[in-house]
């Protein structure tokens, strides 16, 4: 197979994660004289990475969340009364595995939806 044919075959097999990095992986393997299995494993990882990130992207779109807040870049000064440890506990999503409900209670405008979005994301 020529390089073009290989690329077409990869797309037909829906392996575009491999197709996209093929030339880079090829150069890498040649210049470092990499063992075949190492190159093959890296290519499989490329496909897995791409699928995972596309899945995350699809789920984000499906969620209808309008932004991607995370607790890491959270402004804790916004509401100093927020129970920080409880927010991080919620963020571990342990309550889902436990089959428990999570209630976020507070006055309007105190950041409940903000925390919920971070947990959801």
Q: How far, in Å, CA of 116 to CA of 91, rounded?
A: 9
Q: Specify the residue, 99 or 109, whose C-beta has the smaller distance to ligand ADP.
A: 109
Q: Does 109 bind ligand ADP (CB under 6 A)?
A: yes
Binding to ligand ADP (CB under 6 A) within 37-76 occurs at 74-75
- For the stretch 11-18, contacts whose Cβ atoms lie closer than 8 Å and that sit 24 or more positions apart, written own/partner, are 15/47, 16/50, 17/46, 17/47, 17/48, 17/49, 17/50, 17/51, 18/43, 18/44, 18/46, 18/47
Determine which residue in the list 78, 83, 84, 96 makes contact with ligand ADP, applying CB under 6 A: 78
Q: Specify the residue, 25 or 112, whose C-beta has the smaller distance to ligand ADP.
A: 112
Q: Specify the residue, 83 or 106, whose C-beta has the smaller distance to ligand ADP.
A: 106
Q: How many helices (H) and strands (E) does the chain have?
A: 6, 0
Q: Does 112 bind ligand ADP (CB under 6 A)?
A: yes
Q: Do the Cβ atoms of 118 and 92 come closer than 8 Å?
A: no
With CB cut-offs between 5 and 8 Å by kind, which of Mg ion, ligand ADP, none does residue 5 bind? none
**List of residues contacting ligand ADP (CB under 6 A):** 74-75, 78, 106, 108-114
């Amino acid at each position: 197979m020529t390089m073009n044919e290989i690329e077409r075959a990869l797309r037909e097999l829906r392996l575009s994660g491999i197709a996209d990095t093929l030339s880079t992986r090829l150069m890498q393997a040649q210049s470092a004289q990499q063992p075949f299995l190492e190159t093959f494993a890296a290519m499989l990882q490329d496909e897995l990475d791409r699928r995972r990130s596309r899945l995350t992207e699809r789920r984000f779109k499906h969620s209808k969340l309008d932004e991607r807040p995370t607790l890491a870049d959270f402004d804790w000064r916004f509401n100093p009364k927020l129970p920080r440890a409880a927010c991080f506990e919620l963020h571990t999503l342990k309550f889902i595995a436990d089959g428990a409900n999570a209630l976020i209670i507070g006055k309007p405008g105190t950041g409940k939806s903000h925390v919920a979005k971070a947990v959801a994301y």
